[in-house]
Amino acid sequence: MGRRRVKIYETEKDEGSVMAYWDWTWEQLASDDLPAMYDNIHNQTGQKLYYVGHSRRTYRLGLREFIAGGSDVSKLLAGVCSLQLIDCTKPIDVIAGPHCCIKPSMMDGSFDHAPQSTSTKNIIHSAQMIRTGNTAKYNYGDESENKKHYGQPTSPLYNVSRIPKDIPLLFGYGGKDSLTFDVNDVKHLLDNLKDHQKDKLVVKYKEVYAHFDFVMAGNAKSEICI
């Protein structure tokens, strides 16, 4: 959690503050939380750091917490599992793709503590980008609200090509991952990074990997790390 949201949560208890606490998307995770964690670790250790990332109003769900194991998600999964050709005896595979290389003990232990809840706004933001096919800031669904936040009636696009060309990057993605990037998404991202320094960009594609193989597979260290 970022510094700003921790302060709100600790000092205010009213309804407005609860909503403010969950008023964020993955953009704030990158702009607020990540620098705060980086600064704290660097100040404590003084060491060079590497960042490894996996995955990230209204509506009926409201502008607050989205609980992965909550009743709304349970109803959604029940509807999906009622469809033909959907085998829900392995629910994680249905959601994230058929993993290839994870021991059952690793899977059971990990999901005793995950997935954690997120904000409803974050879920909506992700859905907006999926529907439009663009990587853009959160769309408030109203021109006046967008103008208030961005100075224009539409939500601005992120310019991925502005990433400094000499920053070392490694992208890993799997052919069986049904939760986040698919192969075409990654190709689109890499096309936007075509001017990046070639010796600073490494791409690792694993055809048999699903979403959770990257962090739980027994062979992930040898297959992904360089």
pLDDT tens digits in sequence order for the chain, 226 residues long: 344 444 444 555 566 677 888 889 989 988 999 999 999 999 999 998 888 888 763 364 444 666 555 556 666 667 767 776 667 777 778 778 888 998 888 877 776 766 677 888 998 998 898 889 888 999 999 999 999 999 999 999 999 889 999 999 999 999 999 877 677 888 888 998 999 999 999 999 999 999 999 989 999 988 887 6
Query: 52-224 in CATH: which number?
Result: 3.40.50.1820
Measure the CA angle with vertex 188, ends 73 and 226; round to 5°. 85
Which among 27, 25, 28 has a CA at the least distance from the CA of 2? Answer: 28
Two structure tokens written together for 103: 């021991």
55 counts as catalytic? yes
Q: Which of 55, 110, 126, 178 is catalytic?
A: 55
177 counts as catalytic? yes
pLDDT for residue 8: 46
pLDDT for residue 3: 43
Q: Which of 99, 125, 196, 211 is catalytic?
A: 211
Give the bridge partners for 174, in sequence order.
206
**What is the distance between the alpha carbons of residues 9 and 20, in angstroms, rounded to a whole number?**
9
pLDDT for residue 36: 94
pLDDT for residue 64: 60
List the domain boundaries for the chain: 1-51, 52-224
pLDDT for residue 97: 87
Q: Which of 125, 177, 196, 213 is catalytic?
A: 177
105 counts as catalytic? no
The whole-angstrom distance between residue 2's C-alpha and the CA centroid of its chain comes to 16
